[in-house]
């Protein structure tokens, strides 16, 4: 991230990620096992307890988007027969692999020793790893996380997950890594997770302050990066979130707004809640459209895809496998539409938002199918009109800057008019 101010947390994050990719690049020599898995429902502590390194293909894809490589990768996958209609993360990943598998660190990514298909909240995950299995010819283990169709985790669903962990996932990890399951190690990692999660929640909830010292969407996708990927349950993760929390609390104490690509944002004018993933190919331009209007996102749902910690969940070292099941089940995309709506309405109220916006991405049915219903329902319940814009995750063909800018400008004008009492 190239922003005006480089805080300690940012330096730390950069180092952590660089080291991680360095370790991954050297894994074929060092023999460190590599496990690919997904962000929602990632079992990072379990993977780490086996001494394995996680690779998150979604993170690689979004990084490719930010580095403007995704367009070519997607074209490569489409040339190989992948449909233009499906999730562009998958195509970006496959295109990257076919183009030499050079990861975000600029180094070659190792092949997986295991594909841990944590089937949590997204149908595409299943196909993605079936597709990768075709390319890598490596073992794959499916971990089926039941969807919270009725808005809660049923006890028998939890039991089902526990059995799968014991009977399928752990044996697969044992086989892939050549190491025995060590519950004490797992507890150790889970305890570290809980510490970091506590600090992360303090950061997220700083968005309630006026002015908000964070941007709860654009800025927070960086903040959640470590905990959503390889660093939950690690000491680096703990250090990062402690540093971040201190910085955010300091900013809050000083009454400062968030740091944006253009520098610190002063004079917060609009407070928004955002639903849906961001666009990565034009991430800075997208953010700037908000920052230019002095609009700050105070909370977002996308930053909960890797865990809904702000609703109280913490990994619990006293119930090592049970807590993993609880974690997976609670990831945002595993929640049903009514629960998502409740969450957005709660954010609007608690974070005192003036508006909410949905960024609907073409790629993602898990998020997008039903968002127009979410829009209506949230409008109905909160009395606040919402904005709806469309883009994509990593396909640059679907980012129309002019359209989005226009849409945003008129939305902000509408908020102004409402404030002035000109519209009901």
Partner 1 sequence: MATRVDGGMGAPMARGAVVEWARDIYDDLDFTVVRQWLEEHPKSKAGGYLPVYAPREVLHATGFLPVGIHGGGDRLEIIRGDAFYQSYICHLPRSVIELAQSGRLDMLSAVLFPSTCDVIRNLSGIWKLLYPDVYVRYVDVPQIPDPGAAAEFWAGELRRLLDDLGDVTGHRPTDEELRRSIALYNETRKMIRTLYAARRERPWDVPTEELYLLLRAGESVAPEEFIARARQYLAAVAADPKRQRDNSRVVIVGAFCEQPPLGLIKSIERAGCYIVDDDFLLGNRFLTHDVPTDGDPVRALADAFIRNDMKSSVLYEIDPGGKRSLMANRVAAANADGIIFATPSFCDPALLDQPMLRNGAEKAGIPCIAFKYAENTGQFQQFREQAGTFADSIKLWGAA
Chain residues in the site for partner 1 (CB under 8 A): 80-83, 85-87, 90, 117, 119, 122-124, 126-128, 130-131, 133-134, 137, 140, 142, 144, 146-147, 149-150, 156-157, 160, 163-164, 167-168, 336-338, 340-341, 360, 362, 365-366, 368-373, 377, 390
**What character string, x for contact with ligand SF4 (CB under 6 A) and - otherwise, covers 43-62?**
---------------x----
Quickly list DSSP for 55-117.
E-HHHHHHHHHHTT-HHHHHHHHHHTT--TTS-HHHHHHHHHHHTT-B-TTSSBPPPPSEEEE
For residues 346 and 365, which CB has a smaller minimum distance to ligand SF4 in the complex? 365
Q: In what order do the strands lie in the sheet with 355-361?
A: 295-300, 270-275, 355-361, 386-391
The partner in contact with residue 318, picked from ligand SF4, partner 1, none with C-beta cut-offs of 5 to 8 angstroms by kind, is: none
The partner in contact with residue 351, picked from partner 1, ligand SF4, none with C-beta cut-offs of 5 to 8 angstroms by kind, is: none
Please, what is the Cα angle at 307 between 96 and 388, to 5 degrees?
A: 75
The minimum distance between CB 7 and partner 1, in angstroms, equals 37
Give the one residue of 62, 97, 117, 122 binding ligand SF4; rule: CB under 6 A: 122
The partner in contact with residue 160, picked from partner 1, ligand SF4, none with C-beta cut-offs of 5 to 8 angstroms by kind, is: partner 1
Continuous H helices in 216-336? 220-228, 235-253, 283-292, 320-330
Give the one residue of 56, 364, 375, 404 binding ligand SF4; rule: CB under 6 A: 364
Q: Which of 53, 3, 1 is nearest to 23 (CA)?
A: 53
- The Cα–Cα gap between 54 and 43 comes to 9
The minimum distance between CB 235 and partner 1, in angstroms, equals 34
- Cα–Cα distance list, 304 to 53, 97, 334, 337, 402 (Å): 23, 28, 11, 15, 29
For residues 325 and 393, which CB has a smaller minimum distance to ligand SF4 in the complex? 393
Stretch that binds ligand SF4, among 68-76, 210-218, 256-264, 359-367 (CB under 6 A): 359-367
For residues 214 and 374, which CB has a smaller minimum distance to ligand SF4 in the complex? 374
Answer for the pair 411, 90: CB distance below 8 angstroms, yes or no.
no
For residues 51 and 370, which CB has a smaller minimum distance to partner 1 in the complex? 370
Residue 301 phi/psi, 5° resolution?
A: -90, -30
Answer for the pair 169, 320: CB distance below 8 angstroms, yes or no.
no
Helix (H) or strand (E) holding 144: strand 140-144
In the chain, what's the furthest Cα-to-Cα distance?
68
Determine if 359 is a binding residue for ligand SF4 (CB under 6 A). Answer: no
Give the one residue of 21, 50, 73, 89 binding ligand SF4; rule: CB under 6 A: 89
Measured from the Cβ of residue 106, the count of other Cβ atoms closer than 10 Å reads 10
- Measured in whole angstroms, the distance separating CA 117 from the mean position of its chain's CA atoms is 17
- The Cα–Cα gap between 124 and 366 comes to 8
The partner in contact with residue 89, picked from partner 1, ligand SF4, none with C-beta cut-offs of 5 to 8 angstroms by kind, is: ligand SF4
Give the one residue of 363, 390, 395, 412 binding ligand SF4; rule: CB under 6 A: 363
Give the one residue of 10, 25, 43, 87 binding ligand SF4; rule: CB under 6 A: 87
What sign has the CA pseudo-torsion 173, 177, 180, 183? Answer: negative
Residues near ligand SF4 (CB under 6 A) are 58, 87, 89, 122, 124-125, 333, 363-364, 366-367, 393
């Amino acid at each position: 991230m190239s922003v005006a101010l480089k805080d300690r947390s940012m330096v730390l994050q950069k180092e952590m990620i660089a080291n991680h990719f360095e370790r991954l690049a050297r894994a074929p020599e060092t023999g460190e096992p590599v496990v690919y898995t997904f962000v929602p429902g990632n079992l990072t502590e379990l993977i780490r307890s086996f001494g394995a390194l996680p690779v998150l293909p979604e993170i690689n894809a979004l990084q490719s988007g930010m580095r403007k490589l995704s367009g070519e990768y997607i074209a490569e996958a489409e040339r190989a027969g992948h449909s233009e209609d499906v999730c562009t993360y998958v195509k970006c990943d496959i295109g990257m692999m076919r183009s030499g598998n050079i990861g975000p660190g600029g180094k070659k990514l190792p092949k997986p020793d295991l594909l841990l298909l944590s089937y949590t909240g997204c149908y595409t995950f299943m196909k993605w790893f079936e597709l990768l299995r075709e390319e890598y010819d490596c073992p794959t283990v499916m971990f089926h996380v039941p969807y919270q169709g009725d808005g809660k985790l049923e006890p028998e669903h939890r039991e089902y997950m526990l059995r799968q962990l014991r009977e399928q996932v752990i044996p697969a990890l044992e086989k892939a890594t050549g190491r025995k399951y060590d519950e004490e190690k797992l507890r150790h990692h889970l305890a570290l997770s809980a510490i970091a999660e506590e600090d992360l929640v303090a950061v997220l909830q700083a968005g309630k302050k006026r002015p908000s010292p964070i941007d709860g969407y654009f800025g927070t996708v960086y903040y959640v990066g470590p905990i959503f990927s390889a660093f939950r349950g690690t000491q680096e993760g703990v250090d990062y979130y402690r540093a971040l929390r201190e910085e955010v609390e300091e900013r809050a104490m000083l009454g400062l707004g968030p740091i944006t690509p253009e520098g610190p944002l002063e004079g917060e004018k609009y407070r928004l809640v955002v639903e849906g993933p961001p666009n990565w190919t034009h991430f800075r331009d997208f953010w700037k459209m908000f920052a230019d209007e002095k609009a700050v996102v105070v909370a977002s749902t996308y930053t909960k895809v890797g865990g809904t910690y702000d609703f109280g969940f913490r990994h619990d070292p006293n119930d090592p496998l049970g807590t993993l099941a609880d974690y997976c089940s609670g990831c945002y995309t595993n929640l049903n539409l009514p629960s998502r709506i409740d969450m957005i309405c709660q954010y609007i109220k608690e974070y005192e938002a003036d508006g909410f916006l949905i960024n609907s991405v073409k790629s993602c049915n898990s998020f997008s199918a039903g968002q127009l219903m979410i829009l209506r329902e949230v409008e109905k319940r909160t009395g606040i009109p919402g904005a709806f814009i469309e883009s994509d995750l990593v396909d640059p063909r679907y980012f129309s800057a002019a359209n989005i800018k226009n849409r945003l400008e008129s939305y902000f004008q509408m908020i102004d008019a409402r404030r002035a009492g000109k519209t009901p």
